[in-house]
Amino acid sequence: MNISVLTPDNSIYTGEVQSVKVPGVSGAFTVLKRHMPIVSSLAQGKVTLSLEGGKQITFAIEKGFIEVTNDEISLLVQGVSDLQQP
């Protein structure tokens, strides 16, 4: 799957991921390959991008939105902190 993680100021990450875990407003959920199309609001919490080889990128957000269509993910977030990359 391809993902673009964007803030109002810059791009956090663009590339391939195996899965994405996000803090939805009704609870955390994970997006895997072939996920049904969805647009959802995100609440404050932790985002985890799982990459090949078991590597992960994690960061906290204040709020945002996720859109998933045909294994393409757009993650639009605000208030990014605690960014940890492999």
The whole-number pLDDT of residue 67 equals: 98
The upper half-sphere exposure of residue 34, i.e. CA atoms within 13 Å in the direction of its Cβ, equals: 0
Copy the structure tokens of residue 19. 């899965």
Sketch out the chain's domains with CATH numbers: 2-84 (2.60.15.10)
Residue 86 pLDDT grade (very low, low, confident, very high; cuts 50, 70, 90)? confident
Q: pTM score, two decimals?
A: 0.93
The whole-number pLDDT of residue 83 equals: 84
- Taking a C-beta distance cutoff of 8 angstroms, is the pair 30, 16 a contact? no
- Taking a C-beta distance cutoff of 8 angstroms, is the pair 19, 50 a contact? yes
Q: Report how far residue 53's alpha carbon sits from residue 18's, in angstroms, rounded to the nearest whole number.
A: 10
- Taking a C-beta distance cutoff of 8 angstroms, is the pair 13, 49 a contact? yes
The per-residue pLDDT for range 8-19, each reduced to its tens digit, is 999 999 999 999
The per-residue pLDDT for range 30-85, each reduced to its tens digit, is 999 999 999 999 999 999 999 999 999 999 999 999 999 999 999 999 999 988 88
